[in-house]
Amino acid sequence: MVFNPFDSSLAFLWDLIAMVISVVILLALVQINGLMQKKKIVSQIITRKFVHIFAGPIFVVTWMLFSGGIISHYIAVIVPLLFVLQFRCYWYGVDEKRKFC
């Protein structure tokens, strides 16, 4: 067990909470970079680099929030999969209103 403030019988619940925390932190990173790009603080190339540079370490740090049980590994994998799906939708034009440029 890496981190679980609840009883071991509630590890699944804590893993879901850890997943939400991870998603919120990574979404904040993406939104902050999108805002910096819209305000012309930095270019699109730089904001893309920021996302790639910081997303991995943030996910590795938030990985420690998960309980360490067998199911927690699968729940933790949902976080990067959600971002892959989000950017796939963006890339294929499914989510046009959320474009950053």
* Domain ranges for the chain: 12-91
Which residue matches tokens 């067998």?
A: 70
CA angle 87, 72, 8 (to 5 degrees): 150
Q: pLDDT at position 16, please?
A: 93
pLDDT band at 63 (very low <50, low <70, confident <90, very high): confident
Q: pLDDT at position 55, please?
A: 86
pTM: 0.76
